[in-house]
Amino acid sequence: MSIKKFFAVFLLPLSLLATSPLLSLAQTSGQVHGVGLPDFTELVEKQGPAVVNISTVQVIRGRAPGMFPFPFDEDDPMFDFFRRFAPPGHGGKGGKGGSAPREFESHSLGSGFIVSADGYILTNAHVIADASEVVVKLTDKREFKAKIIGADKRTDVGLLKIEAGNLPVVRLGNLEALKVGEWVVAIGSPFGFDNSVTAGIVSAKGRSLPQENYVPFIQTDVAINPGNSGGPLFNMRGEVVGINSQIYSRSGGFMGISFSIPIDVAMEVQAQLKAHGKVSRGRIGVTIEEVTRDIADSLKLPKPAGALVSSLERDGPAEKAGLAVGDVILKFNGKEVTSSGDLPRIVGASRPGTKVTLQVWRKSATRDISITVGEMPNDDDEAPAADEDKESKSEAPQINRFGLSVTELSANARKELKIGHGLRIVDVRGSAARANLQPGDVILALISQGATVELKTVAQFNQLLAQVGKNANITLLIRRGDIQTFVTLKPTGNGK
């Protein structure tokens, strides 16, 4: 084959490919990808000086752990080192060294950021909890002893003050403008490494976590580790959108899921801490749960939404206003309650003593109820659990098609449980067992024809069940100890 023919055969297709739409698309895609990569350098240069390192000292009284005290918190990177390599009886949790109780110091690290030029600093409440001394270090190496203005455990927001002026401050962002998928940056001191920068994207907004009812967390995949707590989360405009608070982890280290407190929540708390040293929250005295599809169908609610009332505090604001177990709260003072997690945040943000209107779903229709908001107590004490019912159980009646065998409560049992009605479960099988119902649980009510009906006798219960379609589900209000919750059961034939 001649050289001229070689070029004609092999190079001509390449020249065509160079002008083909496929190659053009590939080139264009590569250019867009290159341009789209974020550059964090300017953000870090401008905002980094407003981020501070926080170190605390806690004085702990306990049994001295042998030759030396064990001064490291479990979040401290040195904790594992000493726990693994210290001689037996020389420190660690439950160490048996030492013979007499003594005081020793525990040190921990965290982060924070300056929100006013005269020295107010936001951080996490858990970073400064029980601290006897707090030291703030700036990026220019200056150090200040800080005063704790206040800390709110329910939102994990803490406020410090240092005596300094003309300090660099962060800019605050608009949380509503924050979008899932956009880039965010965290600056903090993980494991004591000052002003470390990590980046990622917003994974979700308004995330509810167990035991965290007052914060609609921002979920990200930004690397957060011990020492990052209390540091700022920035958007790409260099504005703070959150306070880095906690991570989800099975190992104790970062696993790709971290949570930040929205800056608007933090600033509301900061304002109250600055003015009063504490946070005042509203409450209405209800226990609520999520509205599932099955419960919505039972209540003839058009869609699963709102917060289902499962119990009322005696003489609380909700009971006084006329709320009832089985009501679904759809709106609170005009604000929609999309899910049960929304209600504590909305109520908590209300000023105690104000009158508001609740829109509730009851008996297949909406109605408005006026209520005066109460005040949340400052302590976290829980009510003591009710004593176990000492009622002697009679011979169990036949298991019904939902896998339940029930009996009526004695007068003594009702008095002990402080209730006026209910049926005790004496045996469970089938659907009832799969729903985790247990002998000793009390059935307080059944949702029938879209309404919640209190149960007083076995005959009444059986009559209501007879009205339920052969393949239809039922929803029961169950009490166990001091907890009340709604449970949906499917029919299981003979209950086996």
Please list the active-site residues. 126, 156, 229
Strands 335-336, 374-375: pairing kind: unpaired
Q: Are 300 and 319 contacting, i.e. CB atoms less than 8 angstroms apart?
A: no
Contacts of 53 (CB under 8 A, 6+ apart): 109, 110, 111, 136, 137, 189, 194, 195
Contact between 442 and 420 (Cβ < 8 Å): no
SS3 content of the chain, % helix, strand, coil (to 5): 25, 35, 40
Cβ atoms within 10 Å, residue 184: 24
Residue closest to 53 by CA, chosen among 130, 155, 123, 119: 123
Does residue 366 sit in helix, strand or coil? strand
Reference 260, options 181, 335, 175; nearest CA is 175
Q: Which helix (H) or strand (E) holds 80?
A: helix 78-85
Q: What is the DSSP letter of 59?
A: E
Q: How far is the C-alpha of 124 from the C-alpha of 153, rounded, in Å?
A: 9
Distance, CA of 157 to CA of 78 (rounded, Å): 26
